[in-house]
Amino acid sequence: MARPKTVRAPTTASLPNNLRIPSSTPSLTKSLGKLSRQALLDLALTWLDDHNITSFPPYLQADEADSPDNDEALPYPAGETIEEVRRVYEDMQDRKGAKREVLERILEGDWRHGITLRQLAMADLRYMDDHPASLRWTALELSPVGENCKNSKRLPSDDWSSSVPRMQAATFVQGLQREISPLVKAHYHLAHSATLPLTFLRIFVVDSPYQSPKQTVEIFTDSSRVIYIAFPDSCPYVYTSIAASTGPKSAPLTSSVATDTRTLQRLVRDSIPKALSRPQQRFSLQATSLAAKNLPTLLALRGPGRSTASNGAFSIFADAAIEGSPLDPRPSNTVSSEEHIQASYCGPAEGKESTNGSAIKRRSGVSDTGPLSSGSKKRRLAIQSRFGTLESSLAPAPLDRLDIRLLDKPGFSGEDDGDFHDSTSTLPAVSLTFSGSDVIGGIRKLAELGIVNPERMPSWMTGEEGISVATVRRGQRLQRDM
Amino acid sequence: MATIASRALESPDPEEEELDTEITSIRAEIQNLQKRKRILTSSLLTTDPIQKLLRKQPKPQSTTTNPTDPLTTISPLVHAAGAHTSSNHHRIAFGATAFPFKDPSPTAPTTPLLGVRIDVCARNGRFAKPYYILLQSERSRAPNAGSGSTKLLKVYRHTVPAFISIAKLENAYLPRPSAKRDNANEDGDEDFSAEDEAEPAKPWKSGNRTQKQDLRGFVRELRRELVAWHMRVNAVEFLREKLGFVSEGGGSFPFDVSPDRDTGIVSLAAVSLETRYVRVEWVDGRVGRFKLSNVGVVERAVVIGDEGRDKKLEDAMTGDGGRVETVLDRLRVDVLFRSQQP
């Protein structure tokens, strides 16, 4: 697609939604090719939906007349009407086939004139919905600045729930645009996740001030220029895909600072709290020592639900696994905790649980009841009291990495052996790094096998704190070293 | 051979299949019946006449224990059932009950945590999952208020949804002088100036100088907030039911519902989990949002149509007391139309 020869002047506007990336771009094939066949079909049908058809018009025969350089060699003839194009994709949905077929149809057929930035953003978000563990997310807390105490005292007493900044998505994006537009040019895409109670904001940044940057088109599919920010519903947390900016402050790259994607990302990150703030109500972002590869994990540990502030041993409270409803006539110790969890509670809690993954799923086959010796029975009880109902093998909150810095002298705690490796330097501080698909679940397994003593292990091993980075002294997490 | 074997695996004997489903259904029924039996026996044990009867009788005989006597074997059950009902009565009547909880962590302090359980009754007479707050008590060494070392409480773990700010509540009702001093450089000064200009009517203000902790006030406010949230959720659910957007099973319909005939509303749903804002859509494309207060009043409303704000609808929503339960009656087309005529 030839770009119109207009006057190019730097502007502060965002990149337009309808900026088209040529369909022949190889990296575009790659980034769309990540999606499954079904996802591609869904996307194509969404684009052809009545609401969206003006934003993503397909290439029709009418367009063919306009462009002089149409060669008949193209494998897909242009459709006559939108209806016809729509039918093609509906047909493909009905029959089985390869993903390749759909992808080629989209890129070389109906959208041969280019994929817009918005379409690309939709495709990326669809991929995120299908693969919630595709990125590493950091949870940040929004905390009010300064006015906190004053405000809480002045407000009427029934206003205890106003800690969450009310966010109108469009206004927020405007604010963000105002903050970052002098520094970077960006394309924004906002969408509510189809599967999780989250609102995604996808920001694509370039460093050119021009409306249609003259960089190579490859830049548009460069994933390092894309920043995701997720706003979970009704809670004062924000998740970003930007790596925590704690370590790499040293040695800024020698290349020009502004074009460095890291710098661009930092600029965006710094402007999020400013865009959320308004007069008399300012917010700042604070680290919460949690980063994980899985969005459901973040939602469970830093989300709106019950499990945010009670994990590990306290998950029995989050799941309400020890006592029943006040209308249950059975004494609570005669009812199994599974039954308590499944008990037909009603109200908003139920809907919330179903978003976290069903409560029943949390509790998996831990209790493979066989003939148990008294020792192993005791151990099992100890494990259950330490780990609670969470972190069984189907745990919804798997941590993929856990970094612990111990400030005690080596030899203080008895659990320093095991299959994790510790790197002791001359300093008496010991750093432990656990990594795997589910760290806390793994520790639980070790405890079940009798390798870790469930009664003596410190509470950070049970996932009680809900953190992935911590500094620990005498088994207690130090708050200030977050 | 392999194909035959696999086919045999794929399609087992239809008769066998039928038997299997029958067996599973019977098993499920047995389980249901067993559950029902247990509920019935325990409810029977907790009924007042039975409790009285069983407690009165064995007293004189208990000295001469007769192991075969059914009454002595049943008495622990009776006692457990009695204790359970009385705690249930407390939970139902007061909504907030306390219990001790021992943190199993070896590094935790030896004093047990103070647990508070809050029960909230929902619209259909059922109870929501109880909310728990576990408080850690610590001795303050600071010689404040002249009472030497006092016991100070601190929220340790809780299961309260994140949009209710525990930190704010804790700041107001469970202030800790040591914590205040720690972040004095941040907000301590402002804090004191705020206290000076404060009106004395605030309940937590009285005696602010001595920084008294008010656990009752804390639990009361927290429970009020939780109940208010449940009420808001219930109100929205009620409106949805009235509009016919909720299917028999309680879930929403998978397909687009037809608009309500009286009001022309096609969708009504809470904006987020907090259910502070409710979004309404009309069949003619108008979109509205209203804010629910804690006492069930429509505080503010905005309706935007093709020709800008629809003030008449907004007024109808907030007017006439603004009760959320009757908002649909006020939005009925004929009512709106009639009010326009004279």
At A245 the pLDDT is: 46
Whether residue B230 lies within 8 A of chain A, CB to CB, comes out as yes
CB pairs under 8 A between A and B: 207
- Whether A331 sits inside 8 A of B221 (CB atoms) is no
Quote the Cα angle for A319-A320-A324, to 5°: 145
Measured between CA atoms, how close is A359 to chain B, in angstroms? 12
Whether residue B163 lies within 8 A of chain A, CB to CB, comes out as yes
Domain assignment present for residue B12? The answer is: no
The answer to whether B221 and B156 are in contact (CB under 8 A) is no
- Whether A459 sits inside 8 A of B130 (CB atoms) is no
pLDDT surpassing 70 at residue B52: yes
Which helix (H) or strand (E) segment holds residue B145: the answer is none
Whether residue B1 lies within 8 A of chain A, CB to CB, comes out as no
At B28 the pLDDT is: 93
**How many residues are listed for chain B in this entry?**
342
Residues A174 and A279 reside in one and the same domain:
yes
Whether residue B167 lies within 8 A of chain A, CB to CB, comes out as yes
Domain assignment present for residue B237? The answer is: yes
Residues A117 and A183 reside in one and the same domain:
no
Measured between CA atoms, how close is A56 to chain B, in angstroms? 23
Average pLDDT for B124-150: 72
Q: Which residue of B has its CA nearest to A386?
A: B104
Looking only at the bridges linking them, the beta strands covering A476-477 and A469-473 are: antiparallel
At A422 the pLDDT is: 46
Residues A80 and A187 reside in one and the same domain:
no
CATH code for the domain in which residue A448 is found? 3.10.20.720
Residues 188-207, chain B, touching A (beta carbon < 8 A): 190-191, 193-195, 198, 202-203, 205
- Whether A346 sits inside 8 A of B124 (CB atoms) is yes
| B119 → closest Cβ in A237, A326, A334 | A326
Which one has a higher pLDDT value, B11 or A96?
Answer: A96
Domain assignment present for residue A348? The answer is: no
Measured between CA atoms, how close is A191 to chain B, in angstroms? 14
Whether residue B102 lies within 8 A of chain A, CB to CB, comes out as no
Residues B239 and B155 reside in one and the same domain:
no
Residues A292 and A435 reside in one and the same domain:
no
Measured between CA atoms, how close is A346 to chain B, in angstroms? 5
Whether residue B180 lies within 8 A of chain A, CB to CB, comes out as no
Residues A178 and A274 reside in one and the same domain:
yes
Q: How far apart are the first and last CA of chain A?
A: 50
**pLDDT tens across the length of chain A (482 residues):** 445 555 666 677 777 777 777 777 778 888 888 888 888 888 888 888 877 777 778 877 776 666 555 555 566 777 777 888 888 888 888 888 788 888 888 888 788 788 888 888 888 888 888 888 888 888 888 887 765 444 444 444 446 665 566 666 777 888 888 877 777 778 888 888 888 888 888 888 877 666 555 666 677 777 777 888 888 887 888 888 876 444 333 334 434 444 566 777 777 778 888 888 877 778 888 888 888 888 888 888 888 877 777 777 788 887 777 777 888 777 777 776 666 666 545 444 433 333 333 333 333 334 444 445 677 788 888 888 888 775 443 446 778 888 888 877 655 444 444 444 444 445 567 788 888 888 888 888 888 888 888 888 888 888 888 888 888 877 777 765 43
Using a CB-CB cut-off of 8 Å, the residues of chain A touching B123 are 347
Domain assignment present for residue A368? The answer is: no
Last residue of one domain, picked from the residues B113, B133, B159: B159
Over residues B203-249, the pLDDT tens digits come to 444 444 456 788 888 999 899 889 999 999 999 988 888 888 776 55
Hunting for tokens 């930190």 — which residue is that?
B167
Adjacent-strand bridge partners of B118:
B96, B131
At A368 the pLDDT is: 41
Assigned token pair, A385: 């009291």
At A411 the pLDDT is: 54
Q: Which residue of A has its CA nearest to B91?
A: A326
**Cα dihedral B262/B265/B270/B271 (nearest 10):** -160
What is the number of other CB atoms lying within 10 angstroms of the CB of residue B235? Answer: 21
Percent of chain B's residues with pLDDT above 70: 70
The answer to whether A333 and A290 are in contact (CB under 8 A) is no
A446-451 CB contacts, 8 Å cutoff, 24+ apart:
A446/A418, A446/A419, A447/A379, A447/A382, A447/A383, A447/A386, A447/A387, A448/A379, A448/A380, A448/A383, A450/A376, A450/A379, A451/A418, A451/A419
Residues A290 and A382 reside in one and the same domain:
no
- Whether A161 sits inside 8 A of B274 (CB atoms) is yes
- Whether A303 sits inside 8 A of B162 (CB atoms) is yes
Which one has a higher pLDDT value, A93 or B11?
Answer: A93
At A1 the pLDDT is: 46
To probe the interface with B, which of A302, A325, A407 has the most B CB atoms within 10 Å?
A: A325
Residues A62 and A177 reside in one and the same domain:
no
| B163 → closest Cβ in A149, A164, A456 | A164
At B25 the pLDDT is: 94
Residues A459 and A330 reside in one and the same domain:
yes
What is the number of other CB atoms lying within 10 angstroms of the CB of residue A171? Answer: 13
Whether residue B236 lies within 8 A of chain A, CB to CB, comes out as no
Residues A95 and A142 reside in one and the same domain:
no
| A306 → closest Cβ in B159, B222, B224 | B159
Domain assignment present for residue B129? The answer is: yes
Quote the Cα angle for B270-B275-B279, to 5°: 30
Using a CB-CB cut-off of 8 Å, the residues of chain B touching A466 are none
- Whether A234 sits inside 8 A of B88 (CB atoms) is no
- Whether B134 sits inside 8 A of A330 (CB atoms) is no
Measured between CA atoms, how close is A156 to chain B, in angstroms? 9
- Whether B169 sits inside 8 A of A162 (CB atoms) is no
Domain assignment present for residue B329? The answer is: yes
For residue B254, give its domain range.
228-339
Residues A113 and A62 reside in one and the same domain:
yes
Using a CB-CB cut-off of 8 Å, the residues of chain B touching A163 are 163, 165, 167-168
Using a CB-CB cut-off of 8 Å, the residues of chain A touching B81 are 329, 331
- Whether A160 sits inside 8 A of B225 (CB atoms) is yes
User: Which value does ipTM take for this structure?
Assistant: 0.74
Hunting for tokens 């962590």 — which residue is that?
B105
At A373 the pLDDT is: 64
Residues A313 and A300 reside in one and the same domain:
no
- Whether A149 sits inside 8 A of B187 (CB atoms) is yes
Measured between CA atoms, how close is B257 to chain A, in angstroms? 19
Domain assignment present for residue A113? The answer is: yes
Domain assignment present for residue A364? The answer is: no
Q: What is the DSSP-derived secondary structure letter of residue A155?
A: S
Measured between CA atoms, how close is B328 to chain A, in angstroms? 22
Domain assignment present for residue B285? The answer is: yes
pLDDT surpassing 70 at residue B270: yes
Assigned token pair, A427: 């300093």
At A481 the pLDDT is: 43
At A163 the pLDDT is: 58
Domain assignment present for residue A255? The answer is: no
Domain assignment present for residue A352? The answer is: no
Domain assignment present for residue B21? The answer is: no
Looking only at the bridges linking them, the beta strands covering B150-158 and A185-192 are: unpaired
- Whether A331 sits inside 8 A of B80 (CB atoms) is yes
Domain assignment present for residue A419? The answer is: no
Which helix (H) or strand (E) segment holds residue A15: the answer is none
Q: Which residue of A has its CA nearest to B122?
A: A347
The answer to whether A208 and A214 are in contact (CB under 8 A) is yes
The mean predicted confidence, pLDDT, of chain B is 75
Number of domains in chain B: 2
DSSP letters, A211-266, are SS--S-GGGGG-GGGEEEEEEETTSSEEEESSPPSSSTTSS--SS-GGG-HHHHHH
| A197 → closest Cβ in B45, B168, B273 | B273
Domain assignment present for residue B45? The answer is: no
The answer to whether B226 and B118 are in contact (CB under 8 A) is yes
Adjacent-strand bridge partners of B139:
B151
Whether residue B6 lies within 8 A of chain A, CB to CB, comes out as no
Using a CB-CB cut-off of 8 Å, the residues of chain A touching B202 are 153, 157
- Whether A347 sits inside 8 A of B120 (CB atoms) is yes
For residue A39, give its domain range.
20-130
Domain assignment present for residue B216? The answer is: no
At B195 the pLDDT is: 38
- Whether B171 sits inside 8 A of A320 (CB atoms) is no
Using a CB-CB cut-off of 8 Å, the residues of chain A touching B108 are 459
The amino acid sitting at B299 is E
- Whether B171 sits inside 8 A of A149 (CB atoms) is yes
To probe the interface with B, which of A346, A453, A460 has the most B CB atoms within 10 Å?
A: A346
Measured between CA atoms, how close is A386 to chain B, in angstroms? 6
Number of domains in chain A: 3
Residues A236 and A104 reside in one and the same domain:
no
Residues 17-76, chain B, touching A (beta carbon < 8 A): 38-39, 42-43, 45-46
- Whether B164 sits inside 8 A of A160 (CB atoms) is yes
Measured between CA atoms, how close is B193 to chain A, in angstroms? 8
Measured between CA atoms, how close is B177 to chain A, in angstroms? 14
Measured between CA atoms, how close is B15 to chain A, in angstroms? 31
Which helix (H) or strand (E) segment holds residue B220: the answer is helix B215-243
| B158 → closest Cβ in A157, A237, A309 | A309
Q: In 3-state terms, what secondary structure has residue B262? A: coil
What is the number of other CB atoms lying within 10 angstroms of the CB of residue A48? Answer: 21
Percent of chain B's residues with pLDDT above 90: 7
pLDDT range class, residue B58, cuts 50, 70, 90: low
At B21 the pLDDT is: 92
Domain assignment present for residue A240? The answer is: yes
Q: Which residue of A has its CA nearest to B77?
A: A331
Residues B155 and B248 reside in one and the same domain:
no
